[in-house]
Amino acid sequence: MRTRFAGPAILLALTLSACSVSAGVGTVRVAADDLESKVTEQLTEMAGQAPDALDCPEDLPGEVDASVRCTLTAGSDRLGVTVTVTEVEGTDVAFAIQVDDEVLAEGEEA
């Protein structure tokens, strides 16, 4: 079964205020929970339906070109989602969201 998320790749750009983490002086990160929430919100707006789940296993570093792979679940389909930082200004992190064109095979990780 193909879902709306599995059609042409969805590419979104948005900005989220990052949560500062004390991993080092001046280090900015977007917490995984915040990232999941914002990406889910944007995908719902674009696709007209919310994914059943979105799992981002780690924080997104606030560095241009840094990326995190997340897994989107819609019904029985699982799709990889790449979130890539495009710009960092202070604690504001802008990033692009790209949903894979192909459904993940059973047992395959994003």
pLDDT per position as a tens digit, 39-73: 998 888 888 888 999 999 999 998 999 999 999 99
Which residues fall within 8 angstroms of residue 65, CB to CB, at 6 or more apart? Answer: 84, 85
For residues 108 and 73, give the distance between their C-alpha atoms in angstroms, rounded to a whole number. 13
* Alpha helical stretches, state H, 1-110: 32-47
For 33, phi then psi, to 5°, come to -65, -45
Given a cut of 50, whether residue 4 has pLDDT beyond it is: no
Alpha-carbon dihedral 34, 36, 39, 45, rounded to 10 degrees: -100
Given a cut of 50, whether residue 3 has pLDDT beyond it is: no
Instruction: Report pTM.
Output: 0.78
Given a cut of 80, whether residue 6 has pLDDT beyond it is: no
Round to the nearest angstrom and report the end-to-end CA distance of the chain: 18
Q: What is the mean pLDDT of residues 80-95?
A: 87
Given a cut of 90, whether residue 11 has pLDDT beyond it is: no
Beta bridge partners of 99: 81
